[in-house]
Each structure stands twice: as structure tokens, then as C-alpha cells.
Structure 1
Amino acid sequence: MDHSEEEINSMDFPIVALDSNVHNRHHHSLSLVHLQQPNLKNENADDDDEDEVEGEVDFVEEDRQCNLCKEQIWSFHLCYYSCKSCDYSLHKFCAELPNTITNHPLHPDHTMVLKYSYGFCRCIICNLKRENYLYHCEVCNYYIDIICFSMSEHKINHPSHDHQLERMYGQKDVLLCVACGYKHEGVFFQCTACPWFRINLYCAFLPTKLLIQNHTDGIFIHPHPLTLTYSFPYSEIEAKFYPLCRVCGDEFYSHLWIYKCDKCRYYVHFDCATSKREPFMSIFRHPGLGKTSKNFIEDEHPNLLHCPFQDEGDNLVKFHMSNRKELIRKHDDKMLNHFSHQHPLILFDTQSSVDKQTLSLHDPKKRIQLLCDGCVKPVTTLPFYMCCQFADGQCCFILHEWCAKLPSQVHDYVGHPEHTLSLIPKVSSKFFGVFHCPICDLPSNGFAYGCTTCEFYVDINCAFIPKDITHDAHPGHLLSIVNPAAKQSKGFCNACLLVMEDCKPGFHCPSCDFYFHVECALLLPKVIENKCDKHPLSLRYEPAQDHISEYFCEICEGELNPWKWFYHCTTCAQSMHAACMPLILQVQCEQATYKHYERCVYEFLNVKFGGTLEIKGHSHRLAFVQGRESDGECSECGDEMQYKMIFKCLECEFAVDYRCASRLVG
């Protein structure tokens, strides 16, 4: 219970006077211990050793408390007295406190005597009651505790600021710290020349080097030492494509301190790196990137799809049909009359049957492209169906075995639940069979599931989107399909960093507010091979380890944002835009470079180029290809044709884009 000042002055409570030499009151001798030692680099040490930096001061923090003032002994105190025989320590200035003092700056003109209070006296400076030693002025009946009395000894020269910092009075106040940007209780240091510069004691003594291999929530790890940096200039944030904290996923502010790696583009808030933040502050923080521990039980989700797919040979149709094997393999199906094609199809199920037809499977390293006419994905394995007239060069129709056995209808589809969707081998109402899938937002000329009543068509991969998936980019957490109408807010896709549109479904982790576009999650394989690199390239979700330099795409030679998903070879340190990668598989466009769009997915990933067309006013047939820079302008509208679907005459220089060609047919 607190008492008024008048009550305190009238009370009779024990006051114990000290001996003239405080530390002599201890029955053992005390030794002076130094807390800071210069850490000079060993001449024989490895130059690359980042743990030893020439000229740095090695701060030794010990869990020691002063037995006189009951406060922590910190490294900035430089030294302290310690008893070698028992657990007794004193600040140097506490040990040397005088028994009496006259004309102290905090109370001039009068003499004050050092006494002991059992918690009834209130310090005139900090207005706090402590069971502690204090100085008493009998003339004014003022009390100043020894912490406030010795405040002038609490000064630090901190590398974050040009001026000396002094400890502030009134340490129980909640104040804003310029280091972390949060309000704290506790001890603060302030610059007397710059009153706005104020840092909390904990922030002031963060380690300059830090490893988060094992102790950052026991989850987030990084193999290199992190360096404490006292600002993150906006120009650098902008140049690094606005990186986010690797632990919580929140943004950085240029004036706040961070930890960063000198070998990688690894940045983290210092309270995230140290796992020390005040619990009440969690309500103001970003929900974070989530923990690696599972938040679901595998047995409750049979046939759960784990993304990304391993390579280009895997896709949703294959995954869906692998769980319905009764529809696929019938050993007597060596010859198949499929409703999608006018000629019989032959099953190739052995390598010898392929060799006899002088046919090679899809192989980007050998510049061989073999795409299925159903799902428009590479044919990389046996078995598959091929038109019986393929060998004569008359018909190049090919189907995966699973695409040849697709169900005729899809019911209760998430994007169009009001009508049943039927399998359509070619959307005849669309020019050259090219329709725009509303789910992945990509053009396609493969098979579709559609509702002719509503003119609603989706490519066959998007027709089998599962309700739940997991993804390596957000490990351990279940991602659920979100219907556009049920979305609570507009999030950002963590792959391409674009906003999640209300008209399209996506995948969402509700515990972390983590989003993926459907196409980003399902259409980018984990590993991809190309003729430009002798090693496979892996899909990356963040900057590569041991790669601090700028990123440039090897295909389009444009700058690459490593916070958007991209492909990278760690052996050769080569990187490529995810949207540029499939371009190297387009044999007809191998000389072209792809325009860097904001999206991660290649625009014509679901388009199988090839085939010819006759149009009015031109005597030759036109081939369906992707435009290159050398194709120049459209002969009809004059627009550039690079990066577009075009129809090109192989006998002359005539070429038109897709839109103009659709008007010239008929």
C-alpha cells in the first residue's frame, strides 16, 4: 500500500548508515574484473573468418547483479568488483560511493548522507520506492536512491549514434525505442543532443554478430553469421526488390535496425532473429511465415497432393487419374479409336516400339519437343498414344495414356457449380480452338471441360484442382482452395507477388494468411532442364544461399527479382525467370527472348503451336507459331508480333497476329 509523502516523513522506520568504504563491509577481499577486452585479429587467422573482426570490442555479458543497488552489471559498466570466494559483486561506482556528499548536481548546497531504506521512501528524482540504499538530505527531507545518484556513470558510446548516450531517469515509463520501433518499459538511453534518439537497454546491447542456426524459435535457420545493421536505407530496400523478413514475412523500415547476412540476401528483424519480443507486441505483428511443424494429420487427408510437381512430366491430370487406375490400364487397348481424333491411335508402351517409329520422347537438352494434344504437357514417359499416321508425317496427334481415358463429365466444379462440365476435345466456337481458361488465366488449345450453355471452358488440368494441397514454399501447412465468393480479403500471391483476384480461386493458408495463385502452385515444376545449362535448375522461392550479387535472367538478360519464384542452378550460379524457362522448349522460338511479365507462369504454357491455316487474300498456308522479334509487324494492323500467337507464312514474309487472322478466315 502506498503512503503519502507526509505519512512517510512521520514514520519511524529503520535507516542503516553505511561504512565510509562500502566494499569493506564484505568480509572477503574484492577483485576488480574488466568486462571489455579488445578482440584483435590473429595474424595467422583465415582472412575469411567473419567471427573475428579487427578492432572490434568483445562485450562479455555476465548474469551478475550488484549486491548494493540490485541492478544488472552490464558490459558498458566496463568493470566491477567481485568476490572470488562467494557470489558477491558490486558495480565499481557502487563500491566507491561516499558516505556523505555535499553540493551534488541533483541537490546542491546541502549535505546528503547514505542510508538504507526498507522500501518506504520515495526517490525525489524517479518517484519510485525501492528497498535500497539512498542519500538523504535532513534539511529538505529529500531522498535520492543510489541508482539516480550514480546516473552520470551510466553512459555509453554506441556505434549506432555519433553522440554519447546517457541513461534516462524514470525508467518505469513506457517509451518508444528508435532501434526496434516499439514502446517498452525498462531502462532507456538517450542522446542529450538529439532528444528523439532513445534506445532500450536490451536493444542497445544486441550482439553485433549472431547465428540463428538453432535458437530462433527452434525453426528458422541460416548457416552464416548475421551482422547487426543500424539502418536499412530505402534506396537499398528498393534495389533489393523490397525484401521481407525471412522469419515473420513482414516488411522492413529504413530507420530500424536489422540483422543481415554478408554472403546472402538474408534479412531479418532483430527481434525475430533473437526470438525475444514482448508478448503484447505480437498483436501488432504480421502473422508470419508459419512454423515447419505440421498443422494437419496426413491420415485425415488421403491422396493429398504435395507440390510442386517433380518435373514437367507430372501434372494434375496424371495425379488425378493415378488414383483411378481402373480407368486407365486395359492391356488390350493397343489400338484406340478416340472421339477426339479422326484416325486410330496406337499405344506405345515399350522403348522398342518408339525406336521403330524413329520417335524420341520430350527432351529439352536435345531440343526435342513432344507435347500431348490433351493436356499440352510434355510426353516424357511411356506409355502414350500416337496417331497411326504419325510416321508418315501426315498427323502429329499424341495423347498421354491418362489423357486418353479422361471421364466424360465433371460435376459440382468449384468454379462453375451450377452446371455439369463435359469433356470437349476442341472448343470449336473459338478460333483455332484457343480458349482462355478462367482458372489459371492462360490461353489453351488442348482439351477442355466446358459448359456450352454458359460458354464456360477450363483446361483439363484446372478441371481437377484438389481441395487441399501442401507446397514446399510453405512447408507443413495445409493450403485449401478458396472460392472467389468466399474470400475474406485480397491477399497477395507469395509466388508472383500480385494481388489475388476476386474472380479466380486460389490456395490459402488461413493460419498464416498465405496465398498462392492456382497456376503458380500447380504449373511450376520443382526441377526443369534446358539446353542452356548442363545441370537441372531448381525452383526457388527466395534468394539463393551464398549469392549476394545481383540476379539476371540467362534467357532474356533482364534483371530478376529473387523474391518472386525463379529457377536457379547453384553449381553455375545461373538464374532464369520462371516465365522465361519454357521458352527454351519452344523449338521454333529458340532465338527469341521472352518479355518479362509480372507473372511467374509462361503465357503460352498451355498452347501447342503447330498446324496450318488458310486465310483470305494470301496464296500460301500460314503456320501457327509464337512471334519473334525478327517477325516484325503484323501485315494487317501493324502491331509488333514478338511474344504473341501469330500465323506466319514460311514461303514469304507475310505474317499476322492471332486476332487479325481470326478476322481474315472465312
Structure 2
Amino acid sequence: MELSKIIPVSKPVCRSSYPDNPHSLCRRFDPPLLVCFSCKGQHLENRRYYYYCATCDLEFHRGCHLFPPEIKHPFHLLHPLTLIFLDPDFQSSRIPIDWPDSSSESDDYDSYEENPGSYEGHIVKCNYCRKYLQPEEFGMAYYHCSTCNFSLHRICAYIRPPLAIENLKCHDHTLTLFPRRVPLPCDACGFSLDTPFFDHVYSCLLCNYMVHRTCIYLPRVIKITRHPHCLSYTSSIVPSCELACGVCRKTVDVNYGSYSCTKGCRYALHSKCATNKKVWDGKDLEGVPEEEEEILEPFLWIDEETIQHFSHDHHHLKLRQDGGSHENKFCEACTLPMTVSDRFYSCIKCEFVLHETCASLPRRKHHPVHKHPLTLFHPSSSNPHKVERKYYRDGFFTCDGCTRNCCGFIYRCSEQDCEFQLDVRCASLPDPSIHDCHPPDHPLFFNFTSGSVMTHHLHFFIQPHHFQLLLHHLHLLPHHLHLL
């Protein structure tokens, strides 16, 4: 995290002055700095100027002027924290280049290679974010209480969350900042409050309720592509039965917050699984009425054997049952050849052909491996600007499911600036599925984290293009959708 994004840009002021009457600092080039008021270090050769307070007669390294020598912090209210530098031989060290000037004036005086110096023998761990102090990431300074052996990264020291939060959607009472991390589960998500990811902890002592700060603002109602209905957040599920999470397939603990179907389906998700950025589109639908999605038919009936397909709307398609007469032709949707047993539609005026099954593919599809709806279209019949994409070259596109080059129909994300797309074969894989190479009581599910099909029980993975072959042998896919 860049410190310049945490510390507001303003005129540099003396840390020794009172906040209601701050003293402005001025740049000084000569004579050299004697002793920095903040870090007690001496002049640095790589710095062409430093800051000086004429009122207090104090000097500051550029960067050190941002940090007071001593602070009081809500994470450690017992004692003040003192600014400490890792390298005791400060003359041979360098102040990190990412320490901002904090001045509204432009700064183009300093340009040098960062040399953090030696840190051997100094192992410091932040008591808040639990990360070791890495000079490359956090710089050389940290705040420390020698009495309690409590330390904070300089960045963590500038993060001051509110002492209390009132959010009645989450909890009936005011939540108070809990300044320490504890190995207890969050009541909203079930994950430990001592987890490595960076978050604050709030509590209600009256209710023995503890929660991550981010979990306070969990959305109340969401919609994901893995389930046809909206899902609502609840603090606990009625323990009528054991439910597996619809994403990770692990058991949903009824004692902690989770998401369940608003229509009463036996479907539930862990809070963190449901709001994962790969699963949820980020929209809170609380107060938004759930409406049935408009169904876009792929074709119009002309008569019992003739249709007008959206991908070939300038000619009509006629149903045929003798695939042998078109054995050298390939389906425009799945790009697989016609066989003797195939039923298919062929254009009455040109060479355009579609398998009967491919002609009935839905125009809009909710696929579990992507958080947005996918729309079916034929690249050659679409407007050129809709086809432009970094993976679409010379009439081929790369399927994000199997990573193979394809030239048939595309299921493509309908959201702006989202480039996810699948060929019709990957988009037609069922979820869940069972096949011969795995025990029948261990179904396979899509795993959005690895781009594979997986089973939770044995962590058994199959790549999509291999899985299609297996499903064909089990007759779970239409004959023409298997890979050759």
C-alpha cells in the first residue's frame, strides 16, 4: 500500500507545534542537517534538501516530517508508541523513496537508487497486520511500545478505523473496535478473526458478537449465476438439514452467517464464497423486486420443419434427417462434422448448417464459472465492433474454459469491459456430473479457482477438454458435442 494514498497531501508542518497553531516547514539546502527531530539521524548525502522549522529551530529529513516521534493509537491505548528506525547506523541507511513530500508543491529534486541498508538481526512483526516488516514494502520506520513489545508498521499506524460503528442491518447494537486480533470465528462469515488478510475487528460485548469490519457491510440480497433465484443473508440457518456450499461444496455451518435462497430452495453459500469477486457481480439487490428474466428464443418457427435462426436471419433453415448427404459439412455452432445419425438444419439457399441441438442452444446462459450472464452469438454474423477482442484473431477466438482456438458460436459476457467467453462445448458441460473414472458418490463440480472440473472429496481435477470426452461416453452430452 502506498503511503501517499493514506496520508493526505498538504503543506508540511512541524510535528512539535500545536495542531491549532501549526508551524510551517521550509526547505533548506544549506547548511547540512545536524539531527533529525523525528528519527535522531544525521544528514543524508542522497538528500539535496531537508525541512526546517524556524519557530522551533528543528530539522527534519524529508519523509521524517510526516511522522511524529510519538503517537497514541487506538490499537494500543495503554502506552504511547515511539517511532523506531530499524538500522541503528542511520548514517548508512536511506529513507524509503515512497515517503511522500506531503507538499502541494512539485518535487523534482531527488532522484536516486533506493539502498535500504542492512537489516540483519532486526526482525519486527506488526501486531496488527501480522506481517514482518519488509523494508521494500513498509520502509525502515515503525512505531513501538517497549513496555508491551507492541509494534505497528508505519502504514498501519496511519490506519485509524472508527472506534464505533452503528449498522442495524448487521447488528442491533453499536459495534465497538476491538484493538487486537483473536483466534475466534467471525460471527458473520465463520472465518477466524486472526486470519492473515488485513481487516479490523468489531465487537458487541452485550451479545458476545464479534465480526470483521468488511463483514459488517455484507450485502443483504444478491444474485449469482449458480442459482436461478436471489439469495439473502441470514445470521444463521435453521438446522433442519446439512447443506453443502454451492461454491466450495463444504458444509455450511448453521451457527454463522450465510446466504440462502429467497424462494425456499435447499441451497446455501458461505458468506465469503457468495461474495467472492469471481462469483458475485458486486450488486446489492436489497429492495429490488425479483423479476423473471426475459427469455430470448434462438429461432422463430416458420412451419413444422422450417425455422429462422437468429444467427442466419436472412435465410430460412430446413430440418434434415439424413446427415450422410452432408458428411463433409461442419456445424456452424460447434464446428463438428455431420454424421449419418444427426438431425440438423440446413439453409435452403446456402451452405449454412446447424445440428438440431445446436439450433436450440439458449441465447442467454448463466454459467457457474462466470459471475455475469453469457450471450450466444455467431461472430461472422455480428457487427465487427462487437467481435473485436484481444483473443479473437483471423476468425478464431480462444475459449476461456479449455483455452483452445475455436471458430464456432461464442457464449460471451454481456457486461461492458468483461472479455470472458466460452465455446458452446464448454458452455454445455453439466454441473454436477458423474463419470466412469471416479466413484459415483463423488460428483464433479466446476472449480472457478483453477479453471477445471473438480470433486471436493478427493480434490480430483479434470481439464474441461478431457472431461468432455468422458461425458460423451456416459451419454451426458449430445453426440455431436464431444471432442474428436
What TM-score comes out, normalization by structure 2 length? 0.31
